[in-house]
Amino acid sequence: MSENNIKVEFDNIKKYFGGTKALDGVSFKVKYGSIHSICGENGAGKSTLMKVLSGIHKKDSGKLLYRGKLVDFLGPKEAIENGISIIHQELAIIPDLTVAENIFIGSKDEYEQSLFKFLTNRKLINQKSQELLTKFGFDIDPNARAGNLSVACQQMIEIAKALSRNSEVLILDEPTAVLAGSEVEVLFETLFRLRNEGVSIIYISHRLEEVLRISDEISIIKDGRSVATFDARTVTKDELVRGMIGRELGDYFPERKGSRLRDMALEITQLSDGILLKDIKLNVQKGEIVGLAGLVGSGRTELVQSLFGARQVTSYSIKKDGTPLQLGDVKDAIRAGIAMIPESRKEQGLIIDCAISENITHVARNKSLDFGVVIDTKKEQAIAQHYSQLLNIKLGHHSDSVNTLSGGNQQKVVMAKWLHSDCDFYLLDEPTRGVDVGAKKEIYNVINTIADSGCGVLMVSSELSELIGTCERIYVMSQGTIVGEVSGDTKNEEMIMRLAVQ
């Protein structure tokens, strides 16, 4: 490898947080004009390493070379000025600003001046934003309020903002976690175009299929250390998994076990919201895992939110366990035995600054009460201990903040909360979003256990392989309605996408 072809070099990078080794000797090189992916389990050190490169964290030892020169950026601003941009998994959108304002806020040129002088030159900002969005295939109105847009569109705004800075190195952390179908293809086309223009792209993702598809090289980090760097053209998925988790994963989707109950758990013969959802019809049997597929904006999340009472509907006819279900609010849904694992665990599934034990017992708080009045902390800890062992939640202590856990373990806490609530119908919206391959299999096991106990499961996922591997049947949504159902021999990606693009 010619040294003059190297854009970024990590040489034995180490980073400590107190007594914890977040990075314990990471070394690899990123070429000019290449897509270099980084894989590893949650907590492996991938994001920490990128924060060192982008000036957010200061390394404790090792060498960081950029364009062949030693660098040690004092902060994100200096990194940006040197052509390094990072798009975090947690978006930094300012919801009350327009798309154009979000794209150009913080820029060094005349657009920043016009923005902070009450946007007197709004026309120019909008024009430049539209040119940028059009160039990269993003169909977004620059005048739209960012907070009113879907998470997928907000992700595209972040990408457009980074591209507006003419970045030489673009770091993307789980960029497709909220994208599906055509949005993912637009992103990949953009990355290929940027690579051909000489931009070095560092790509972090748990989705091994897409990593193998788009990468030139793939580096694996485990427990803060470099494992290996592979040529993406020759490495196999099994080799990547073995490097990430240190063992063979076996089948990704575990077999179903136990008896199947075939009474109807939920039957929808009509549901509309007057905005997006139109005449929804579907059913889920007890002991069955049913999938919901579709492109972003097709209405999948809106449907499960409506069933959980978190979104208003205008008309509906629904039976749960053969009895008409009244859609009121979230409390009514919980009382009816409906659980919801939402798309955004941090914003909607967890009380992020509270203890792990408090999060697990939050919904069924009465089970932790002494004499029905006072919280029995010993009982609460015992409940948390039970579910931590059951779901293999890796933690320090149950009194620690849930924010100290990795994404996969946070997701398990959300699942533990609902298992503790004794609900018998589960709505899952992107249950493995941002979760590494090892934790994914554990979550699939939990989902199987839920179904094998006789509960009904309705699951949304943007990963078609996940739906195909876990669900017996899959409904496909497009433009707010069910456009088809696949099962058996028709349960394949080609058939699902044909229906989804209607």
Residue 49 is predicted with a pLDDT of 93
Residue 6 is predicted with a pLDDT of 94
Residue 386 is predicted with a pLDDT of 86
Strands (E), 420-480: 425-429, 456-460, 473-478
Which residue spans of the chain are classified as CATH 3.40.50.300? 1-83+168-251
Three-state secondary structure readout of 91-102? CCCCCCCEHHHH
Is it the case that residue 369 has pLDDT exceeding 60?
no
- The predicted model gives 364-369 an average pLDDT of 63
Q: How confident is the model at residue 189 (pLDDT cuts 50, 70, 90)?
A: confident
Residues forming a β-bridge with 37: 203, 218
Please count the CA atoms within 13 angstroms of the CA of 270 that sit on its side-chain side: 5
8 A C-beta contact, residue 91 and residue 70:
no
Q: Kindly state the helix (H) or strand (E) to which residue 352 belongs, with its residue range.
A: none
Q: In the block, which residue shows the tokens 């039976």? A: 319
State which CATH number among 3.40.50.300, 3.40.50.620, 3.40.630.30, 3.40.50.2300 fits the domain covering 1-83+168-251: 3.40.50.300
Please count the CA atoms within 13 angstroms of the CA of 41 that sit on its side-chain side: 26
DSSP, collapsed to helix, strand or coil, labels residue 453 as coil
8 A C-beta contact, residue 298 and residue 287:
no
pTM of the model: 0.65
Residue 445 per-residue DSSP state: H
Is it the case that residue 3 has pLDDT exceeding 90?
no
Is it the case that residue 346 has pLDDT exceeding 90?
no
Highest mean pLDDT among 288-302, 363-377, 426-440, 469-483: 469-483
Distant-in-sequence, close-in-space partners of 84: CB < 8 Å, separation ≥ 6: 53, 54, 55, 66, 73, 167, 168, 169, 171
Query: What whole-number distance in Å separates Cα of residue 397 and Cα of residue 255?
Result: 32
Q: Please name which of 419, 365, 362, 355 lies closest in space to residue 387, comparing C-alpha atoms.
A: 419
10-24, 51-65, 250-264, 441-455: the lowest-pLDDT one: 250-264
Task: For 449-497, write each residue's pLDDT tens digit.
Answer: 899 889 999 999 988 888 998 999 999 998 899 999 999 888 888 888 7
**Token reading at 370:** 């002494």
Enumerate long-range contacts of 279-284, CB under 8 Å, 24 or more apart: 279/481, 280/481, 280/482, 281/482, 282/458, 282/475, 282/482, 284/425, 284/456, 284/457, 284/458
Q: Concatenated DSSP letters for 188-212?
A: HHHHHHHHHTT-EEEEE-S-HHHHH
Residue 110 is predicted with a pLDDT of 43
Q: pLDDT: is 331 or 406 the higher one?
A: 331
Residue 118 is predicted with a pLDDT of 42
DSSP, collapsed to helix, strand or coil, labels residue 51 as helix
The pair phi, psi for residue 347, each rounded to 5°, is: -85, -30
8 A C-beta contact, residue 292 and residue 459:
yes
Query: What whole-number distance in Å separates Cα of residue 439 and Cα of residue 93?
Result: 29
Is it the case that residue 444 has pLDDT exceeding 70?
yes
8 A C-beta contact, residue 210 and residue 176:
yes
Task: For 154-186, write each residue's pLDDT tens digit.
Answer: 878 888 888 888 789 999 988 887 676 667 887
Q: Please name which of 377, 373, 439, 450 lies closest in space to residue 416, comparing C-alpha atoms.
A: 450
8 A C-beta contact, residue 287 and residue 261:
yes
What is the average pLDDT value for the chain, to the nearest integer?
85
Is it the case that residue 413 has pLDDT exceeding 80?
yes
In our burial notation (b when 16+ CB lie closer than 10 A, e otherwise), range 369-380 reads: eeeeeeeeeeeb
Residue 222 is predicted with a pLDDT of 87
Is it the case that residue 60 has pLDDT exceeding 90?
yes
Q: How confident is the model at residue 137 (pLDDT cuts 50, 70, 90)?
A: confident
Residue 371 is predicted with a pLDDT of 46
15-29, 119-133, 264-278: the lowest-pLDDT one: 119-133
Q: How confident is the model at residue 120 (pLDDT cuts 50, 70, 90)?
A: very low
Query: What whole-number distance in Å separates Cα of residue 340 and Cα of residue 348?
Result: 10
**Token reading at 177:** 């976690």
Greatest distance between any 2 Cα atoms in the chain: 72
Q: pLDDT: is 199 or 347 the higher one?
A: 199
Is it the case that residue 115 has pLDDT exceeding 50?
no
Q: pLDDT: is 502 or 462 the higher one?
A: 462
Q: pLDDT: is 121 or 191 the higher one?
A: 191
- The predicted model gives 44-56 an average pLDDT of 90
200-204: strand order across its sheet: 84-87, 169-173, 200-204, 35-39, 217-222, 225-231
Please name the amino acid found at residue 331.
K
Q: pLDDT: is 187 or 27 the higher one?
A: 27
Is it the case that residue 32 has pLDDT exceeding 90?
yes
**% of the chain exceeding 70 in pLDDT:** 89
DSSP, collapsed to helix, strand or coil, labels residue 103 as helix
Residue 328 is predicted with a pLDDT of 87
Q: How confident is the model at residue 112 (pLDDT cuts 50, 70, 90)?
A: very low
In our burial notation (b when 16+ CB lie closer than 10 A, e otherwise), range 255-284 reads: eeeeeebeebbbbbeebbbeebbeebebbb
Query: CA–CA distance from 395 to each of 17, 400, 408, 434 (Å)?
Result: 17, 8, 11, 18
Q: pLDDT: is 352 or 58 the higher one?
A: 58
Is it the case that residue 37 has pLDDT exceeding 50?
yes
The pair phi, psi for residue 464, each rounded to 5°, is: -65, -35
Q: How confident is the model at residue 391 (pLDDT cuts 50, 70, 90)?
A: confident
CA dihedral sign of residues 234, 439, 477, 146: negative
Please, what is the Cα angle at 450 between 380 and 259, to 5 degrees? 135
Residue 247 is predicted with a pLDDT of 61
Is it the case that residue 119 has pLDDT exceeding 70?
no
Residue 383 is predicted with a pLDDT of 83
